[in-house]
Homo-oligomer: A and B are copies of this chain.
Amino acid sequence: MAGVDSIINVKDVLPVELVTGEAHLPKGYIAGGMHVGIKRKKKDLGWIVTETSAEGALVTTQNKYPAAPIVLIRETFGRFGPLKGVIVNSGNANALTGSDGMRDARVMQEKFAELIGARAHEVIIASTGVIGVPLPIEKILHGYDLLREDGALSHHDPEAFAASILTTDTVSKIVSAKLAIDGTVVTVSGYAKGSGMIQPNMATMLAYVMTDAEVKGADLYPLWKSVIQKTFNRISVDGDESTNDMALLLANGAAGVLLAPDHPAWPAFAGAVYAVARELARMIARDGEGATKLLEVVVTGAASEVDADKVGRAIVNSPLVKTAIYGEDANWGRIVAAIGNSGAAFDTQKVSVRIGDVLIFNAGVGLPFVESDVQAYLSGSTVRITVDMGAGDHESEWFGCDLTEGYVRINAHYRT
């Protein structure tokens, strides 16, 4: 897919104003969430329904043990096509559950399709939570009964949806952007969950981005794939990939604007999708299990984008860098050691490293810096490390977080 990558060229993306934390859903979508008893108290069943059929584009985990819902939607939906709804449960991943798990996934999909007047293949299902435990499908079906009785499906509460898909996340992740295209407002809104088992290469989280623009599936999918490559595939909490993850982009056309790559507003639209996904990715990284800081790694001057990714990944995945960031320690030696282990091609004498704006490593040696200045910077909630490889003009941007005692505590005793 040579053309895919060119769809989003980060350097050319137009700036777009983002709204975070508040749900500004595009036209024609209903979203909500409720508690059905899979988790003890918190919301654990969420849905998105589009009033008219939408085009969807889907990317799923690369784990060789995909969970039952992933196996199912690959069969029934594929990569792009028409969709009417999304149903997600949290608290149980329906992963490594064998043929019973597949049966439960089919029931979860078919019964929700019935509820919203769709066909099974027009529904995307997702599960997240504990692995290897049978899905309590009867609780989900009981939830469907409540929805049918109460007409709750028409009760629009996007924040309840955002809450219902969380597991060990501490905050909901909601981002919106608005564009004026030909005098019409087009909205792009996204929701995500992340927290643990987060690592580059997809397979890592749930993300649902919706727009009310009209876009054909054949245009939507390469855009989405390209956006994911530069956003969700460049975050890492712990280097582990999950069995369940997916990112879905929906375009229902309710705004009445048809967009395609040859439309003059396409770059602005693609930029808005990219910006929403990027901000969701940052929010996932910042809310990594036990994290106290967002770690942003910007790699410039690499010989290739692959090399830039190798260096970015090596730094955000290094436990020694991550613990140093937690300790607010300007330990540049660990950053340089990670670069040295990345497998990227470069001249060791041409690499420079900055923590924030302070140049701390250049021409193979550490530079004198005012320790208190760097420490003050490291005490903030966002730490940016910039590496220039001096080897070309390719770049990459990665998001991660610090590694804390909290991560260990959460994962030593939580059975995911």
A residues apposed to B, CB below 8 Å:
62-65, 93, 95-98, 130-132, 196-197, 203, 238-243, 317-320, 323-324, 326-327, 329, 331-334, 336-342, 346, 348, 361, 363-366, 403-405, 407-409, 411-413, 415-416
Q: Is the CB of B132 within 8 A of A341?
A: no
Q: Which residue of the partner chain B has the closest CB to A341?
A: B241
Contacts of A366 in B (CB 8 A): 96, 132
Contacts of A320 in B (CB 8 A): 196-197, 238, 240, 411, 416
Q: Is the CB of A333 within 8 A of B404?
A: no
Most buried by B among A97, A132, A366: A132
**Quick one: which of B65, B93, B339, B413 contacts A339, CB cutoff 8 A?**
B65
Distance between Cα atoms of A411 and B337 in the complex (Å): 15
User: What 7 A-B pairs come out closest when comparing CB atoms?
Assistant: A131-B333, A327-B412, A323-B411, A65-B340, A98-B365, A64-B340, A405-B405
Indicate whether A319 sits within 8 Å of B238 (C-beta atoms), given known contacts A341-B203, A408-B404.
yes
Contacts of A346 in B (CB 8 A): 64
What are 9 A-B interface contacts by the 8 Å CB criterion? A96-B333, A132-B332, A203-B341, A239-B318, A320-B411, A323-B408, A326-B408, A333-B416, A408-B408
Indicate whether A65 sits within 8 Å of B336 (C-beta atoms), given known contacts A96-B365, A203-B341, A323-B412.
yes
Indicate whether A63 sits within 8 Å of B130 (C-beta atoms), given known contacts A364-B98, A412-B327.
no
Q: Is the CB of A130 within 8 A of B333?
A: yes
Q: Which residue of the partner chain B has the closest CB to A61?
A: B340
Distance between Cα atoms of A175 and B342 in the complex (Å): 33
Indicate whether A239 sits within 8 Å of B415 (C-beta atoms), given known contacts A323-B408, A408-B403.
no
**Quick one: which of B98, B318, B341 contacts A63, CB cutoff 8 A?**
B341
Distance between Cα atoms of A346 and B348 in the complex (Å): 39
Q: Is the CB of B65 within 8 A of A319?
A: no
Q: Is the CB of A334 within 8 A of B412?
A: no
Indicate whether A409 sits within 8 Å of B416 (C-beta atoms), given known contacts A243-B340, A341-B240, A365-B98.
no
Indicate whether A239 sits within 8 Å of B319 (C-beta atoms), given known contacts A64-B339, A339-B64.
yes
**Quick one: which of B242, B323, B334 contacts A337, CB cutoff 8 A?**
B242
Contacts of A363 in B (CB 8 A): 98
**Quick one: which of B62, B130, B240, B337 contacts A319, CB cutoff 8 A?**
B240
Contacts of A197 in B (CB 8 A): 320, 337
Indicate whether A338 sits within 8 Å of B404 (C-beta atoms), given known contacts A64-B346, A324-B412, A327-B412.
no
Min Cβ gap A348→B in Å is: 6
Q: Is the CB of B409 within 8 A of A405?
A: yes
Q: Is the CB of A334 within 8 A of B365?
A: no
Contacts of A63 in B (CB 8 A): 337, 340-341
